[in-house]
Amino acid sequence: MTVFDFGGRRALVTGAGKGIGREIAALLATCGAEVVAVSRSADDLTRLQRETGCLPVVADLETVEGVQQAVRAAGAIDLLVNNAGIALLEPFLEATPEAFDRTMAVNVRAALLLGQAVARDLITRSSPGAIVNVSSQSSMVGLPNHAAYCASKGALDQLTRVMAIELGPHRIRVNAVNPTVTLTPMGQRAWSDPARSAPMLARIPLGRFAEPLDVAQAVAYLLSDAAAMINGVTLPVDGGFLTS
């Protein structure tokens, strides 16, 4: 595991209760950051706090009020990771407005509102900062039954670019990571069937899916001073999937 130094910095990680978000929060805490962890699940946050010392904030980022609640509870933040996301899979011809709106609210609108709040405070404090949006390889390729999800991640990539352009002059860097299938507990269950996983693995030159730590370390790098000249990128963490 690569270790970065985030001593003296406060990081806000959304979707931190499980999977990739939990791994990011734990890694940043290990690297010295004071981590504010946001999740809908109080039980998940209690376990994370006990194991890593992260400060828990229970909030539902699907609503504007939930985002505002998270902002108030978090306080001053130097590093933001917009990781919260949902995937409501439906065939295109059966995609519902309700599922589309929910997906866009969590995957895009929450990142916009949290990014605004953190950036405004950094500018007020004349402090540099870094933001990483957790996107997906599905922002760049179409996947069956993923109309809303692919649309939301494509929008998140474009939001990342605009944020980087407008916030860069304020010394706030904004980047995205775009993972392939990641073996969180949910991912392991979803992709345990070789009949399903084999065609996807065949498109990954490295021959494996990502582990949550693979994504967390990419996020930590983009937040760190080692990436001081990197702004506005969408970084695949996909073993080469997008090259095939």
d(CA 21, CA 37): 9
Q: What angle do CA 63, 67, 71 make, to 5 degrees?
A: 165
The share of the chain scoring above pLDDT 70, in percent, equals 99
Instruction: Count how many Cα atoms sit within 13 Å of the Cα of residue 171 in the half-sphere of its side chain.
Output: 11
Average pLDDT, the chain: 96
E strands, 26-171, in order: 34-39, 55-58, 79-82, 129-134
Residue 114 makes CB contacts below 8 A (sequence gap 6+) with 12, 14, 61, 67, 70, 71, 80, 82
61 SS3 class: coil
Q: Mean of the pLDDT values across residues 205-224?
A: 97
List the catalytic residue out of 153, 176, 209, 223.
Answer: 153
Report CA-CA distances (Å) from 217 to 43, 54, 61, 62, 80: 25, 18, 24, 27, 15
Per the CB < 8 A criterion, the answer to whether 216 and 156 are in contact is no
| Mean pLDDT across 153-160 | 98
Residue-level pLDDT at 104 = 98
**What is the pTM assigned to this prediction?**
0.96
| Residue tagged active-site, from 149, 173, 227, 235 | 149
The closest of 161, 60, 148 to 115, measured between CA atoms, is 161
2 pLDDT tier (thresholds 50, 70, 90): low
- Look up residue 168 and give its DSSP letter: G
Give the pLDDT band (50/70/90) at residue 1.
low
Mean pLDDT of 163-169: 98
Q: What is the pLDDT of residue 134?
A: 98
pLDDT of 3 above 80? no
In the predicted structure, residue 184 carries a pLDDT above the cut 80: yes
Q: Is 221 among the catalytic positions?
A: no
What CATH number labels 10-233? Answer: 3.40.50.720
pLDDT tens digits along 43-82: 999 999 999 999 999 999 999 999 999 999 999 999 999 9
In this predicted structure, the answer to whether residue 242 has a pLDDT above a threshold of 80 is: yes
Kindly state the tokens that stand for 205: 């030159």
Q: Residue 244: pLDDT above 80?
A: no
Does residue 228 surpass a pLDDT of 90?
A: yes
Q: For residue 234, what are the β-bridge partners?
A: 176
pLDDT digits (tens, 9 = 90+) for 170-182: 999 999 999 999 9
Residue 18 bears catalytic tag:
no
Cβ atoms of 160 and 234 closer than 8 Å: yes
